[in-house]
Amino acid sequence: MNLPHIRFIQVPTCDAADPRAELASGLLRQPAAVAPKFFYDRLGSALFAAITELPEYYPTRTEAAIFAAHQADMAAALTSRLGPHCTLVDLGAGDGAKAARLFAPLQPVRYVAVDISVDFMHDALRGLQQRFPAIEMVGVGLDFSLQLELPAGVLDGPVLLFYPGSSIGNFGPEAALRLLRQARAAAQGGALLIGVDLVKPRAVLEAAYDDALGVTAAFNLNLLRHVNRVLRSDFDVRDWRHVAFFDAEASRIEMHLEARRAHTVRWPGGERRFESGERIHTEDSYKWTGTGFEALLGDAGYTRVQTWTDERGWFAVMLAFVA
């Protein structure tokens, strides 16, 4: 019996997307900024996994509870429109654990895991195929924050794009609209299943991004170690502190690294002096109202949006079909 196989595809980046050039450009801005994708080296990924276990960090467990309560309804809505045996595309797949919970109800014929580096997906996909040998597995290394365009031959049949975890919040409204439109094109007439973090009291939001144990602070500071490896810079994490706050007017959490003292950071071909109290902007996490995000999906060209939330209305999972 011939079983499906695993393929790994690393999509090359263009010169404009060179990570060293991107980092150097961001550090020389006023104010300085580093994209949140640079959080996720091996240690950063482990620290984020630890964050999801913290009592203050509600998104992961709240989203999981929504899926547990409504997965059958989601699967029924999907199969009635797409039929069984779709291609499941997992954006920002990580270890694939969230998508794997959909394998039984959806029975996809192909699972396409998309993350910034294919190297991070080897062990995860091999483990998943041992558990689900009938599903063809494809790992695609792609920075879809720049452009969501999957390689030729990856998609087959009806397509469900899966984007859980409220990662859409890392994109401002205009960038989120652009990504949703690209996802609509990639879905090829299929659907999008997406997790969205909703507006809630400031104290709840700020605690989730500045926990008492300091794990989120370590996660933020570890970004500097990753920058050092990629850019060959000389950041000393002891010179920086973690800062996180909710900007109610912009409806977003902002994370920054703040210089504890005045000093100069150097890298091959460049340097930047930071004054005491000067910040590097490392992440935005936008929070939406349910009606606001449904309207954004409509602007992106989706129809028949179905929404499931928890009892407190803190988080939403939305299913949107392509017209």
pLDDT tens digits, residue range 133-144? 999 999 999 989
| Whether residue 159 is found in the same domain as residue 35 | no
Q: Does residue 176 sit within a domain?
A: yes
**pLDDT greater than 90 at residue 297:** yes
Please state, in angstroms and rounded to a whole number, the distance separating the CA atoms of residues 124 and 213.
Answer: 29
Side-chain-side CA neighbours of residue 307 (13 Å)? 20
| Whether residue 132 is found in the same domain as residue 253 | no
| Whether residue 170 is found in the same domain as residue 294 | yes
| Whether residue 176 is found in the same domain as residue 88 | yes
**pLDDT greater than 70 at residue 300:** yes
**pLDDT greater than 60 at residue 81:** yes
Residue 114 pairs in a beta bridge with: 91, 140
Domain that residue 242 falls in: 30-53+202-286
Please state, in angstroms and rounded to a whole number, the distance separating the CA atoms of residues 58 and 100.
Answer: 21
**pLDDT greater than 70 at residue 17:** no
Tokens of 232: 């060959």
State how many domains the chain has.
2
Q: Three-class SS string for 56-111?
A: CCHHHHHHHHHHHHHHHHHHHHHHHHHCCCCEEEEECCCCCHHHHCCHHHHCCCEE
Q: Does residue 19 sit within a domain?
A: no
pLDDT of residue 302: 95
More confident residue, 27 or 83: 27
pLDDT of residue 85: 84
More confident residue, 229 or 81: 229
Cα–Cα distances in Å, from 73 out to 115, 124, 135, 141? 28, 28, 23, 31
| Whether residue 83 is found in the same domain as residue 158 | yes
DSSP state of 157: S
pLDDT of residue 1: 39
Cβ count near 105 (within 10 Å): 14
Mean pLDDT of 231-251: 98
Mean pLDDT of 110-130: 88
Q: Are 209 and 54 in contact (CB under 8 A)?
A: no
Mean pLDDT of 54-71: 96
| Whether residue 218 is found in the same domain as residue 313 | no
- Which pTM was predicted? 0.91
Q: Predicted confidence band at 145 (pLDDT cuts at 50, 70, 90)? A: confident
Q: Does residue 127 sit within a domain?
A: yes
Alpha helix (H) ranges present in the chain?
19-27, 42-51, 58-82, 97-100, 103-106, 122-131, 173-186, 202-208, 215-231, 290-299
| Whether residue 66 is found in the same domain as residue 133 | yes
